[in-house]
Structure 1
Amino acid sequence: MKTFRILALVAALGVGLRSAQAQTRAEWVATTATAGWVAQPAPNVTASAGPADAEIVLTQPLQVIQGFGACFNELGWTSLSALPPADRAKVLRELFAPGVGANFTICRMPIGANDFSRDWYSYDETPDDFAMTHFNIANDEQTLIPFIKQARQYNPKLALWASPWSPPTWMKYNHHYAAAAVRPEQRQAFPLAENGLPADRQGQEGHNLFIQEDKYFAAYALYFAKFIEAYKQQGIPVGMVMPQNEFNSAQIFPSCPWTAAGLARFVGYLGPQMRQHQTRIFFGTMERANEALVDTVLRDPRSAPFIEGVGFQWAGKGAIAGIHQRYPALTLYQSEQECGDGKNDWKYCEYTWTLLKHYIGSGANAYMYWNISLKKGGISRWGWSQNSLVTVDEAAHTYHYNHEYYLLKHLSHYVQPGARRLATTGAFTNLLAFQNPDKSVVLVAQNDHDTDQAVRFRVGGRTVAPVLRAHSFNTLLLK
Structure 2
Amino acid sequence: MPRKMRIVESNKNQKKKWEEKGMITFVNQPVDSEHIVSLNPDQTFQQWMGFGGAFTEAAAYSLAKISPQLREEVLDAYFDKDVGLGYTLGRTHIHSCDFALENYTYVDEGDKDLASFSIEREWKYVIPLIQDAMTVANEPLTILASPWSPPPWMKTNGEMNNGGKLLPEYRQVWANYYVKYIEEMEKAGVPIWGVSVQNEPEAVQVWDSCIYTAEEERDFVKEFLGPTLQKHDLSDKQIVIWDHNRDVIVDRATTVLEDPEAAKYVWGVGNHWYVSEEFENLSKVHEAFPDKHLLFTEGCIEGGVKLGAWHTGERYARNIIGDMNHWLEGFIDWNIVLDETGGPNHVGNYCDAPIIVDTKKDAVYYNSSYYAIGHFSRFIKRGAVRIEVLSNVPNVSITAFKQQDEIIVVVLNETEQNEKLTFSINEESAEVIVPAHSIVTYVIH
User: Shared topology, TM-score over 0.5?
Assistant: yes
Aligned-partner residue type, residue 457 of structure 1: F
Q: Does 1:428 align with 2:370?
A: no
Shift in Å, 1:302: 4.1
Q: Name the CA distance, whole Å, in 2 between partners of 1:297 and 1:149.
A: 34
2:168 aligned residue: 212
8 Å CA contact 1:126, 1:134 repeated in 2 = no
1:132 aligned residue: 114
Change beyond 3 A, Cα 1:150–1:307: same
1:284 aligned residue: 242
2:17 aligned residue: 37
Q: Does 1:455 align with 2:421?
A: yes
1:331 aligned residue: 293
- Which structure shows the higher helix fraction? 1
8 Å CA contact 2:5, 2:26 repeated in 1 = no
1:270 aligned residue: 225
2:351 aligned residue: 386
Change beyond 3 A, Cα 1:63–1:315: farther
Q: Name the CA distance, whole Å, in 1 between partners of 2:213 and 2:410.
A: 39
Q: Does 1:466 align with 2:432?
A: yes
1:354 aligned residue: 318
Aligned-partner residue type, residue 257 of structure 2: L
Change beyond 3 A, Cα 1:310–1:118: same
1:74 aligned residue: 57
For 1:177-256, what aligned pairs fall within 5 Å after superposition?
177-179=160-162, 203=164, 209-213=165-169, 216-256=170-210
CA root-mean-square deviation? 1.8
Shift in Å, 1:288: 5.5
Percent identity (aligned): 25
2:252 aligned residue: 293
Q: Name the CA distance, whole Å, in 2 between partners of 1:95 and 1:338.
A: 16
8 Å CA contact 2:77, 2:84 repeated in 1 = yes
- The secondary structure found in structure 1 opposite 2:118 is coil
Q: Name the CA distance, whole Å, in 2 between partners of 1:55 and 1:148.
A: 41
Aligned-partner residue type, residue 241 of structure 2: F
8 Å CA contact 2:198, 2:243 repeated in 1 = yes
8 Å CA contact 1:68, 1:367 repeated in 2 = yes
Q: Name the CA distance, whole Å, in 2 between partners of 1:317 and 1:311.
A: 14
Q: Does 1:48 align with 2:31?
A: no
8 Å CA contact 1:248, 1:288 repeated in 2 = no
Change beyond 3 A, Cα 1:225–1:256: same
Aligned-partner residue type, residue 8 of structure 2: V
For 1:31-180, what aligned pairs fall within 5 Å after superposition?
31-33=10-12, 34-52=14-32, 53-127=36-110, 129-155=111-137, 156-179=139-162
Q: Does 1:311 align with 2:270?
A: yes
8 Å CA contact 1:125, 1:169 repeated in 2 = no
1:399 aligned residue: 364
Deviations 1:397-447 (A, max 9, x none): 010111001001100000011111122113225243333331311111123
* Greater mean deviation of Cα atoms: 314-323 or 151-160: 314-323
Shift in Å, 1:451: 3.7
Change beyond 3 A, Cα 1:463–1:43: farther
How many residues align structurally?
Answer: 428
Shift in Å, 1:120: 0.5
Q: Name the CA distance, whole Å, in 2 between partners of 1:168 and 1:385.
A: 24
Aligned-partner residue type, residue 406 of structure 1: Y
2:405 aligned residue: 439
Shift in Å, 1:329: 2.6
- The secondary structure found in structure 2 opposite 1:265 is helix
Shift in Å, 1:36: 4.4
Q: Name the CA distance, whole Å, in 2 between partners of 1:415 and 1:350.
A: 18
- The secondary structure found in structure 2 opposite 1:41 is strand
2:373 aligned residue: 408
8 Å CA contact 2:389, 2:400 repeated in 1 = no
1:198 aligned residue: none
Deviations 1:315-368 (A, max 9, x none): 475432311221223110111114332243212322232212221122111112
Aligned-partner residue type, residue 408 of structure 1: I
Deviations 1:364-398 (A, max 9, x none): 11112112111113032211221101111112101
8 Å CA contact 2:313, 2:371 repeated in 1 = no
Q: Name the CA distance, whole Å, in 1 between partners of 2:238 and 2:438.
A: 39
Q: Name the CA distance, whole Å, in 2 between partners of 1:465 and 1:125.
A: 65
Shift in Å, 1:230: 0.4
Which TM-score applies when normalising by structure 1? 0.85
Aligned-partner residue type, residue 225 of structure 2: L
Aligned-partner residue type, residue 46 of structure 2: Q
Change beyond 3 A, Cα 1:449–1:432: closer
1:26 aligned residue: 5
Deviations 1:188-238 (A, max 9, x none): xxxxxxxxxxxxxxx3xxxxx11012xx12111110000000011111110
Q: Which protein shows a greater Rg?
A: 1
Aligned-partner residue type, residue 102 of structure 2: D
1:193 aligned residue: none
Q: Name the CA distance, whole Å, in 2 between partners of 1:92 and 1:338.
A: 19
8 Å CA contact 1:287, 1:316 repeated in 2 = yes
Q: Structure 2: where are the runs of 5+ without partners?
A: none
Q: Name the CA distance, whole Å, in 1 between partners of 2:74 and 2:50.
A: 19
Q: Name the CA distance, whole Å, in 1 between partners of 2:301 and 2:283.
A: 22
Q: Name the CA distance, whole Å, in 2 between partners of 1:43 and 1:455.
A: 16
- The secondary structure found in structure 2 opposite 1:40 is strand
- The secondary structure found in structure 1 opposite 2:43 is coil
Shift in Å, 1:170: 1.0
- The secondary structure found in structure 2 opposite 1:266 is helix
